[in-house]
């Protein structure tokens, strides 16, 4: 049995290793081509490593940063991501606390509505969403976080509710006896216990918002505001030509921040997902 188990483990390791290599292969190709000269990318040598004649150094990255709109788009994406994730963490954790602690038809209905929102395809509501955002003036980077809060609430509430059910009610009752109000109990007691789940939800939501292309394209005014994914899509050089080198470099500059965030909180993602989905 042990030999069979070891053989099975080896097979799974080989399969998962191959899948991992296939998964990161596109990112590696983008990195390689971001270091090449423009002529080397457009002449069919996309899959080759840069040579002394085709190596461009950091010139593509400098061109990408100096290109019109990159820094403003980076700031827009950063503000949208930070504001959206902060709103999701604050409001969804409080909502999950209410659902978990207040038993009744309303709390049960809210929970099922949030869970149901996770299975509704975005394509079903995107045209209505675009019209509603225009009417409510949610079509700027400063208030698009309201829309992200609505779409990100389903997963966040689901995970927070799962973890909240594992927190003993006696801890909150002791805080109430000591004179804390329900709001003080939540922020002084529950928030500290929710820290692993909050980090997990924050990282998952940040990866989604930062890389999102469709929602900002539908909602924002493209002529005034572009996030990083939108800018890459409309990346143009002189005379409207697509400059592949700077575009590859801009993609790498976009990937690096979210990779750093993910690697920094990777261990919390596993703990938070397990706690939010299993406990309770």
Helices (H), the chain: 2-34, 38-42, 59-66, 70-101, 105-117, 126-135, 145-164, 169-177, 182-185, 191-193, 195-211, 214-219, 228-233, 244-264, 266-278
CATH number of 259's domain = 1.10.3720.10
Question: Tokens standing for 13?
Answer: 């390791």
Name 264's Cβ contacts closer than 8 Å, sequence gap at least 6.
none
Q: Are residues 144 and 53 in the same domain?
A: no
Q: Which residue has the higher pLDDT, 205 or 277?
A: 205
31-45, 72-86, 108-122, 230-244: which range is least confident on average?
230-244
Burial-class residue 31 by CB neighbours within 10 Å (0-12, 13-18, 19+). middle
Contact 178, 65 (CB under 8 A): no
Please give the average per-residue pLDDT across 38-65, as a whole number.
Answer: 75
48-57, 155-164, 235-244: which range is least confident on average?
235-244
The pLDDT of residue 210: 92
The domain tally of the chain equals 2
Q: Are residues 163 and 214 in the same domain?
A: yes
The pLDDT of residue 236: 60
Please give the average per-residue pLDDT across 226-230, as a whole number.
Answer: 88
Q: Are residues 273 and 157 in the same domain?
A: yes
Mean pLDDT for the chain overall: 82
The domain boundary, picked from 59, 77, 93, lies at 59
Band (278; pLDDT cuts 50, 70, 90):
very low
Domain with 38, as residue range(s), is: 2-59
CB atoms within 10 A of CB 232: 19
The domain boundary, picked from 15, 32, 59, lies at 59
Q: Are residues 42 and 78 in the same domain?
A: no
Q: Are residues 147 and 253 in the same domain?
A: yes
Q: Are residues 18 and 116 in the same domain?
A: no
- Judged by phi (left if over 0) then psi (alpha if -120 to 50, else beta), residue 44 lies in left
CA distance 130 to 109: 27
Angle formed by the axes of helices 145-164 and 105-117, nearest 10°: 120
Q: Are residues 251 and 270 in the same domain?
A: yes
Model confidence at 279: pLDDT above 70: no
Query: What pTM was estimated for this model as a whole?
Result: 0.82
Q: Are residues 123 and 221 in the same domain?
A: yes
Q: Are residues 201 and 151 in the same domain?
A: yes
Model confidence at 98: pLDDT above 60: yes
Name 120's Cβ contacts closer than 8 Å, sequence gap at least 6.
none
Please give the average per-residue pLDDT across 108-127, as a whole number.
Answer: 85
Residue-wise DSSP of 51-119: -TTTB-TTHHHHHHHHSTTHHHHHHHHHHHHHHHHHHHHHHHHHHHHHHHHS-SHHHHHHHHHHHHHTT
CA distance 109 to 95: 12
23-27, 88-92, 139-143: which range is least confident on average?
23-27
The string of pLDDT tens digits covering residues 130-172 is 888 888 888 889 999 999 998 989 889 988 888 888 778 888 8
Please give the torsion angle defined by the CA atoms of residues 148, 150, 153 and 154, in that order, rounded to the nearest 10 degrees: -120
Q: Are residues 271 and 192 in the same domain?
A: yes
Please give the average per-residue pLDDT across 55-72, as a whole number.
Answer: 80
DSSP symbol at 215: H
5-14, 40-49, 102-111, 115-124: which range is least confident on average?
40-49
CA distance 139 to 225: 9
Q: Are residues 77 and 196 in the same domain?
A: yes
Closest CA to 233 of 24, 66, 73: 73
Model confidence at 240: pLDDT above 70: no
Please give the average per-residue pLDDT across 21-34, as a whole number.
Answer: 85
The string of pLDDT tens digits covering residues 166-200 is 778 888 888 888 888 888 888 888 888 888 888 88
Q: Are residues 80 and 194 in the same domain?
A: yes
The domain boundary, picked from 43, 59, 75, lies at 59
% of the chain with per-residue pLDDT over 90: 14
């Amino acid at each position: 049995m042990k030999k069979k188990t070891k053989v099975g483990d080896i097979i799974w390791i080989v399969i998962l290793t191959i899948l991992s290599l296939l998964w990161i292969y596109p990112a590696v190709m983008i990195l390689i081509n971001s270091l090449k000269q423009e002529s080397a990318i457009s002449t069919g040598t996309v899959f080759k490593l840069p040579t002394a004649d085709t190596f461009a150094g950091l010139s593509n990255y400098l061109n990408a940063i100096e290109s019109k709109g990159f820094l403003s788009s980076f700031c827009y994406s950063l503000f949208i991501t930070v504001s959206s994730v902060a709103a999701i963490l604050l409001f969804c954790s409080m909502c999950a606390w209410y659902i978990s602690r207040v038993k009744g038809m309303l709390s049960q209905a809210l929970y099922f509505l949030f869970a149901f929102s996770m299975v509704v395809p975005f394509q079903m509501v995107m045209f209505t969403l675009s019209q509603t955002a225009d009417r409510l003036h949610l079509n700027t980077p400063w208030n698009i976080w309201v829309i992200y809060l609505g779409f990100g609430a389903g997963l966040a509430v689901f995970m927070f509710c799962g973890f909240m059910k594992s927190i003993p009610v006696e801890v909150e009752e002791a805080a109430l006896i000591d004179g804390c109000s329900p709001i003080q109990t939540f922020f002084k007691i529950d928030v500290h216990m929710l820290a692993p789940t909050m980090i997990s939800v924050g990282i998952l939501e940040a990866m989604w918002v930062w890389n999102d292309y469709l929602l900002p394209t539908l909602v924002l005014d493209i002529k005034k505001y572009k996030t990083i994914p939108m800018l890459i899509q409309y990346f143009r050089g002189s005379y409207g030509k697509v400059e592949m080198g700077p575009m590859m470099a801009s993609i790498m500059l976009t990937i690096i921040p979210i990779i750093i965030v993910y690697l920094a909180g990777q261990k919390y993602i596993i703990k938070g997902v397990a706690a939010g989905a299993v406990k309770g």
